[in-house]
Chains A and B, each alone.
Chain A
Amino acid sequence: MSNKITLGHVHMSGCTGCCVSIADTYGGLFTLLDNYADLVYTLTLVDVRHIPKMDVALVEGSVCLQDELSIEEIKETREKATVVVALGGCSAYGNITRFSRGGQFNQPQHESYVPIAKLIDVDVYIPGCAPNPEMVRNVAVMAYLLLKGNDAQKKLATAYLAPLMALAKDGSRIESDSEACGCDVMLKVINQGLCMGCGTCAASCPVFAISMEYGKPNIDREMCIKCGACYASCPRSFFSFDVCGDYENILGAISAAMNPGGN
């Protein structure tokens, strides 16, 4: 199908968990590849050695500053891809690689890891460790609608992607040094008088670092891996009445896209 978008998975310093997440929609991945996207670059699945031109690059992992190839490849990704998506906590915020201080064999000098937005501008963030397969699917469908859809679909995709683009824009600012940890929930939500105790942050935390104490999130910072899921999930981090109020149509559109035969 010539109308498909081209999609690649670029592997920086990550654990391949994000790559697994792409495949974790089971049949959903086949539907995506059959109808909407050609996978043009990814470890083990596609035999392409150099980063090709592509519409959407899903970048997993942070960039190791002591690894020249990583730096070259992330810059090349920016050049070759129309839309760069930071897929997962490491790529978007550093995540667990924030805690690295080097000293591991066989490359003990590899000690400095930065989110990709420290080196290139990023268009969309999908936080979380590992990123939720359904989020990867939703963003892939929306990217398709944005690049190949009609005007109404483009508008819908733009509105849907807006908050994820805003997170990326914030991360791409030169002075940005978001910790993307439970601290964001404290600094940007509770300290700002916005928390209403819904518990979504606690439910979203992959390492159970957030517990609800007397109806408010209590953050165990020793546990936090800085994946950014809690803040991105929080209805008071960003909330669009237009998008969320239209949940029936949007969820319907995604589900129709994932079930093109109508079965």
Chain B
Amino acid sequence: MDMLGKYKSCVAARSTSSEILKCSQDGGIVTQMFVYALEEGIIDGAIVAGPGDEPWKPQPMVATTPEEILAARGTRYNISPNLDKVGIVGTPCQIQALRKAQLYPVGLRYVTDKIALAMGIFCMENFSYQSMKQIVEDHCNVDLHSLKKTDIGKGKYWAYTNRGAVSQIPLKVTHKYEQPGCHVCLDYVANMGDISTGSVGSPDGWSTVFVRSTNGDNIWKKAVEAGVFETKAIDSVKPGLDLVTKLATEKITKNQKELEHRAKIGVGKGLRNPYI
């Protein structure tokens, strides 16, 4: 298994816009990329996870202006259905779904050619909305209404409140709430995105960026040239690519074992393996 997937280049990067960085999860890569692509006419709109009808419940929305893109920034750490045309951001599995839909568009008419930019984000696992609620409210003791930001890093789940309190619990506690479907996932760094990005590997406030497809490469080069991103060679930053490789290997090895375990979970009987 290829841990980091195919890529043309890898850098640490962050947006040069202080407005974007102010509220983004890390380096503001996805937000900046979509704002740039909208302004340049590369995309007409982007499908992003916007706010839903309950606190911290994501709802897919089509953002067609930079303001709408900005309203959707930050990670919500729970599942958001996310699939259609133009610019799209998704976890590795969502990008897999997208590529399958482009190759086998069984129920999606004329979507294949409409994907102008697919931004993948690194993902170790995800939570259902109810799981997230349970983690934040029952374990972190934070009401979802007063939650300002959540984060996963340094082996902990972090909850920041609007009034400045920080609550953290070890990931050991959150593991059992993970979405079961995540445990068979064999992709950590969105191997099939045009560009994929995540915090791991880069210093705080920066993001690691893999530029993968020819399409992604073209857009990335233009964006960097336009000055909307500041970049550093990935081998010049700490903790660097080694940590990305380490975590990818951990996830994929663990999940491959899970697939093997599932195959013989019963007595002479097992569960389905989706990979052919």
Contacts and interface: CB of A to CB of B under 8 A. Distances in A.
Contacts of A163: 104, 276
Contacts of A131: 106
Nearest to A252: B214
A8 interface: no
Interface in B158-189: 179-186
Given A197-B79, A199-B83, A128 B107 contact: yes
Contacts of B180: 193-195
Interface residues of B, number: 52
A244 B81 contact: no
Contacts of A200: 83, 97, 100-101, 108
Given A132-B105, A250-B103, A194 B93 contact: no
Contacts of A61: none
Contacts of A102: none
Interface in A195-215: 195-200, 202-206, 212, 214-215
A162 interface: yes
Interface string B67-90: 000000000001111111000001
A192 B271 contact: yes
B97 A132 contact: no
Nearest to B60: A199
A198 B107 contact: no
Interface in B94-115: 94, 96-97, 99-110, 112
Nearest to A125: B106
Interface stretch (A42-50, A69-77, A111-119, A225-233): A225-233
A247 B99 contact: yes
A162 B101 contact: no
A203 B102 contact: no
Nearest to B187: A241
Contact of B104 (A135, A166, A199, A202): A135
A245 B96 CA distance: 9
A214 B214 CA distance: 35
Nearest to A217: B81
B97 A235 contact: yes
A162 B276 CA distance: 9
Given A132-B106, A135-B105, A135-B106, A244 B112 contact: no
A222 interface: no
Size category of the A interface is 35 or more
Contacts of B108: 132, 200, 203-204, 233
Interface in A172-197: 188, 192-197
Contacts, number: 156
B103 A244 contact: yes
Nearest to A235: B97
Contact of B106 (A128, A241, A248): A128
Contact of B109 (A134, A192, A248): A134
A160 B276 contact: no
A206 B106 CA distance: 10
Interface string A25-63: 000000000000000000000000000000000000000
A166 B78 CA distance: 33
B276 A194 contact: no
Interface string A68-95: 0000000000000000000000000000
6 contacts: A132-B108, A196-B185, A214-B130, A229-B107, A234-B97, A239-B100
Identify the 4 closest CB pairs spanning chains A and B, nearest first. A204-B107, A199-B81, A215-B79, A196-B181
Interface of B: 5-6, 57, 60, 78-84, 90-91, 93-94, 96-97, 99-110, 112, 126, 128-130, 179-186, 191-192, 213-214, 262, 271-272, 274-276
Given A203-B83, A214-B79, 17 more contacts: A126-B106, A132-B105, A134-B109, A160-B103, A193-B181, A196-B93, A199-B83, A204-B108, A215-B80, A216-B128, A233-B100, A233-B106, A244-B103, A245-B192, A248-B213, A248-B214, A251-B112
